[in-house]
C-alpha cells in the first residue's frame, strides 16, 4: 500500500496522537454508558415498548447532539448564545412554547448583551399588536452557577449546590424605541449605573445540619435565556450578541490537542451524566413509575396534576418565576382527560404541554400537543379547559397525545411577581371521549377539520422559523 511521504512524527506529535485517541475512546465509553440507560432497569428507564425504545435511542442522540454543541461551541472568553433544547434534542420535560438559549460566562468578569426585538409593547402591559413582527410573548434572563444534571447524580439537588445569581424578565427590561436593548453582566453594579444589570456573583446564607449559619459565594458559569412564544403566527426571535468586555475585538487562541481532548471527554461526560441524571430524576424524585419514598403517594400522579409549586434550581431547575403543576396521563383509546386551569391573578404566561416518558416534549410542530394561554380558547368564566385524547373530537382545545398511551402533562404559569395569595390551580377529570360534550360547557369552542389543518400549518411555519438554520 502506498503511504504519503510525511516525515516521521516528532515526540510532541506522537503524544498528541496518543492523547487524542485516549480522549476519543473515553468519549465513546461514556456514550455507551448513556446507552445503557435505555434498557437497564437499574437506571430508571421508561417501560420497554417498541416506541419507547425507538424514542430512547433518539433521546441519547439528542443529548449527544447538545453535548457536542456545548463542548466545541462557545467559551466563557468568547461566548455566544446557543440553543440548549430544540426539536433535535427535546428533553427535561421541555416547554413547547420556549426557546432555551445559553452562553457560558465566567462570573468574575463583566459581559455585555446587546439585543433587538420586534414590537414589545405587550412587555409593558399594553395590548399587543395584531400584525407585523412582534417580540416573544415573555422572556426571562438568569445568571446561574451551573447546569442541572451535569454531575449525573441526584446529590446535586441538595440545598447549597447551585444558585441563581440574578434574574431579569421582559417586564423589567429597559428597551429603546427601536427595540434595541443592552444588559451589563458583572460581579458588582457600577456606581451610578442605571441601565439593565445582572449580577454574576451572589452570597447566600443558610444553616447546616448543626444549626450553624454558613455563607457561600456563588459565581455564575452561564447566562440563560428563555423566550416564550404565545402568538405563534406573529411573534419572532430576537437578535442577540454577547461579549466579554475585555475580549471584544480580540482573536481566539489557536486550537490545540489539549483543547480537542478536553472537548471530546466533555462531550461524552455531558451525554452520560445528563441521561443518567434525568432518568433518576423522573424515576426517583418525581416518582413517575410509582411510590419510591414510601409515603403512600407519588409526586407525579396518574391522570391528575400535583399541587402547583414554584421552581427551584436546586430541585431540577426550571424558570424561577414559574409556578408548575405536573402529572402523567394514562389513557385507553376511548378515554380522555378534561384539564381545567384557574388563574385568579392573570399571569404573564400560561402554558400546557405533553411529553413522552423520556421527558421529550411531543412533536409540537405537526401535532397540537400543546396550547398556551394565547392559543387556547377561554370559556366565559375565564377558565381554560383542555381535552387530552388520542383522537380529534373537533374541540378547539384538544391536546393530541400523538398516540402515546402515557406521558407527562405540565402546566406553567409565569409571573413577574408571584402573587402571595390567590395562586393558580387546576383540576383533572377522566371521561369517555364519546361523552366529552356532556362534561364541557355549552359555550365550548369547536373547530372544523379545515380549521384544524390551518392551525397545524401555523405551528409548522412557526417552528421552522423559530429553529431556522439559514
**Residue whose C-alpha cell is 407585523:** 132
Helix, strand, or coil (residue 362): coil
Residue range 210-249, pLDDT digits in tens: 888 888 999 999 999 999 999 999 999 999 999 999 999 9
Phi, psi of 358 (to 5 degrees): -85, -5
For the segment 77-132, what is each residue's pLDDT rounded down to a tens digit?
Answer: 999 999 999 999 999 999 999 999 999 999 999 999 999 999 999 999 999 998 88
DSSP β-bridge partners for residue 133: none
Residue 368's SS3 state is: coil
The domain spans of the chain are: 12-73+253-285, 76-249, 291-466
**Do 182 and 195 contact (CB within 8 A), yes or no?**
yes
CATH 2.60.120.1600 at 291-466, yes or no: yes
Distance CA 288, CA 245 (A): 45
Give whole-number Cα distances, 389 to 73, 136, 181, 223, in Å. 41, 29, 43, 38
Distance of CA 164 to the CA centre of its chain: 16
Residue 407 has pLDDT above 70, yes or no: yes
- From the number of C-beta atoms within 10 Å of its C-beta (0-12, 13-18, 19+), residue 109 rates as middle
pLDDT digit string, tens, across residues 314-369: 445 566 778 999 999 999 999 999 999 999 999 999 999 999 999 999 999 999 99
Angle between helices 50-72 and 257-280 (to 10 degrees): 140
**Can you give the pLDDT at residue 208?**
79
pLDDT of residue 68: 98
pTM for the predicted model, two decimal places: 0.95
Residue listed under C-alpha cell 449527544: 64
How far are the Cα atoms of 143, 147, 156, 418, 431 from residue 309, in angstroms, in the given order? 22, 21, 20, 11, 26
Higher pLDDT, 169 or 206: 169
CA pair distance 343, 54, nearest whole angstrom = 38
DSSP state of 251: P
Mean pLDDT of 50-65: 99
Q: What does the alpha-carbon distance between residue 185 and residue 223 come to, in Å, rounded to a whole number?
A: 9
| Rounded Cα distance, 431 and 410, in Å | 19
Amino acid at each position: 500500500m502506498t503511504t504519503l511521504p510525511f516525515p516521521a512524527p516528532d515526540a510532541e506529535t506522537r503524544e498528541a496522537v496518543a492523547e487524542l485517541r485516549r480522549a476519543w475512546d473515553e468519549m465513546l465509553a461514556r456514550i455507551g454508558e448513556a446507552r445503557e440507560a435505555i434498557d437497564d432497569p437499574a437506571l430508571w428507564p421508561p417501560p420497554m415498548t417498541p416506541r419507547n425504545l425507538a424514542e430512547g435511542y433518539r433521546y441519547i442522540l439528542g443529548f449527544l447532539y447538545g453535548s457536542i454543541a456545548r463542548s466545541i461551541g462557545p467559551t466563557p472568553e468568547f461566548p455566544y448564545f446557543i440553543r440548549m433544547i430544540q426539536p433535535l434534542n427535546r428533553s427535561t420535560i421541555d416547554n413547547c412554547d420556549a426557546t432555551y438559549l445559553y452562553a457560558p460566562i465566567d462570573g468574575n468578569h463583566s459581559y455585555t448583551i446587546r439585543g433587538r426585538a420586534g414590537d414589545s409593547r405587550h412587555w409593558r402591559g399594553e395590548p399587543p399588536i395584531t400584525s407585523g413582527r412582534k417580540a416573544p410573548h415573555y422572556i426571562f434572563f438568569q445568571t446561574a452557577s451551573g447546569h442541572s444534571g451535569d454531575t449525573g447524580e441526584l446529590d446535586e439537588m441538595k440545598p447549597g449546590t447551585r444558585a441563581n445569581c440574578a434574574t431579569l424578565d421582559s417586564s423589567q427590561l429597559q428597551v429603546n424605541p427601536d427595540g434595541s436593548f443592552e444588559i451589563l453582566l458583572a460581579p458588582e453594579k457600577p456606581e451610578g449605573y442605571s441601565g439593565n444589570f445582572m449580577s454574576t456573583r451572589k452570597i447566600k446564607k443558610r444553616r447546616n445540619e448543626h444549626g450553624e449559619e454558613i455563607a457561600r459565594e456563588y459565581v455564575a458559569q452561564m447566562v440563560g435565556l428563555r423566550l416564550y412564544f404565545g402568538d405563534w403566527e406573529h411573534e419572532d426571535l430576537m437578535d442577540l450578541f454577547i461579549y466579554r468586555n475585555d475580549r471584544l475585538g480580540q482573536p481566539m487562541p489557536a486550537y490545540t490537542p489539549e483543547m480537542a481532548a478536553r472537548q471530546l471527554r466533555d462531550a461524552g461526560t455531558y451525554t452520560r451524566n445528563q441521561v443518567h441524571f434525568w432518568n433518576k430524576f423522573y424515576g426517583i424524585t418525581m416518582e413517575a413509575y410509582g411510590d419510591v419514598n414510601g409515603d403512600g403517594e407519588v409526586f407525579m400522579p396518574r391522570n391528575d396534576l400535583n399541587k402547583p409549586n414554584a421552581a427551584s434550581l436546586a430541585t431540577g431547575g426550571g424558570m424561577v418565576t414559574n409556578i408548575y403543576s405536573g402529572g402523567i396521563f394514562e389513557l385507553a383509546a376511548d378515554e380522555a382527560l378534561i384539564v381545567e386551569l384557574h388563574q385568579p391573578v392573570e399571569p404573564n404566561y400560561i402554558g400546557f404541554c405533553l411529553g413522552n416518558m423520556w421527558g421529550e416534549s411531543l412533536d409540537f410542530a405537526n401535532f397540537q400537543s400543546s396550547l398556551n394561554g394565547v392559543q387556547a380558547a377561554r370559556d366565559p368564566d375565564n377558565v381554560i379547559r383542555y381535552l387530552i385524547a388520542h383522537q380529534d373530537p373537533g374541540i378547539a382545545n384538544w391536546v393530541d397525545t400523538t398516540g402515546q398511551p402515557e406521558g407527562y402533562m405540565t402546566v406553567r404559569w409565569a409571573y413577574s411577581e408571584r402573587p402571595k395569595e390567590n395562586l393558580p390551580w387546576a383540576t383533572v377529570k377522566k371521561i369517555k371521549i364519546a361523552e366529552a360534550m356532556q362534561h364541557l360547557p355549552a359555550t365550548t369552542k369547536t373547530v372544523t377539520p379545515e380549521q384544524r389543518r390551518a392551525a397545524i400549518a401555523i405551528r409548522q411555519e412557526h417552528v421552522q422559523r423559530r429553529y431556522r438554520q439559514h
